[in-house]
Structure 1
Amino acid sequence: MSGPYYGDRAEEPPDLIGKDPNTFEPRALRGGGWNIALLDLIGKMIGWPLCRIFGGKLQDKVLVDYWISRMSATDSARAAQRAIELGFHGIKMKCKWEDANMEDRVRAALEVAPHLRVVLDPNERFYNLKNALDLARRLDGLDVVFEDPFPKTDLHEYRRLKEETSVLVGGGGGGGGGGGGGGGGGG
């Protein structure tokens, strides 16, 4: 957590230091991650993993992509090689529609790591279906996921993107099996 935020407004978090975690109701600690931290602490006290507190493990593995920022095609290829060396199976590329080199970046990464899954994450900055379709058609046949390509104001447009192209389409976490964080290339 960064900064003094609690809930949906800036204020100091509750005074938790030195208090017995068994005396708090997690729902009373809304926002800021305090409720998750408290549940994790309680889980450690009773020997349960956090997933058990939430009802049990749903899968054995969570795929995590190697994240890279907006960069050149050459640097994207180097990053893809590094991702493979570190054992990743996917790479998440931050981008936006104005980046003229998106297709080159994807192709450069796949040239050095052909089995790598590529997630393009523009944070809705492909802006509209027309732009997303244009890029998707240029990347046709490649293992590419579009994560949040444009605002989700019309889900029918998301359906059209999926129906008219071969790209996988996802929202906020890698989409088609992608998985989220990697925190800037870490693991």
Structure 2
Amino acid sequence: MMLRRLPITARLAACTLLATFLYLALAMHDAQAQSRSYPVDDSASQVLERLVPMEWDSTPGSGAASHAVSGTVTVLVRLDVAPWRGRPGRIYMSLPHQPSGPVTATWTTRGPLLPGVLRAGERQLVYAGPIDTALIEDTMRLHLQADGRRLGRNEQLDFSFEIEPGAL
């Protein structure tokens, strides 16, 4: 009822403002809907070396400031993306924070997945594009680095994958 009492220019301005607000609200909703991520089943992936021997990057006690240890492992990655087949998407690899402290993974790939670097507690883009098949397969060569002073004898890293369908 208030709009009827306002001059026509004020009513037009109010309608324009309302339309702009609704447009922005819908755009934000669409952006949030597209940025939803879903877990990707990677249970068919295979780690070729069950135990990764970690070696000191420099000899402790030799005056070197580094306490880093590193090791390398090969993983045959198999991502079941069948639910998103025929749609574009962005796939991320993540690694939760580790109780033993910072861990960094650097990897190379041989197929459709992107090479990259990932620190514990982060996620990294490994694929962006159309999902044309039910399974994305690649071979990753992961180089792991951690603080040797804090690393336990048998630590397990639980990498996981998630997809944002519709995002490019």
Using the size of structure 2 for normalisation, the TM-score is: 0.25
Larger strand share, 1 or 2: 2
Structure 1 or 2, whichever has the larger Rg, is 2
Using the size of structure 1 for normalisation, the TM-score is: 0.24
Larger helix share, 1 or 2: 1
- Ranked by relative contact order (alpha carbons within 8 Å, sequence separation 6 or more), the top structure is 2
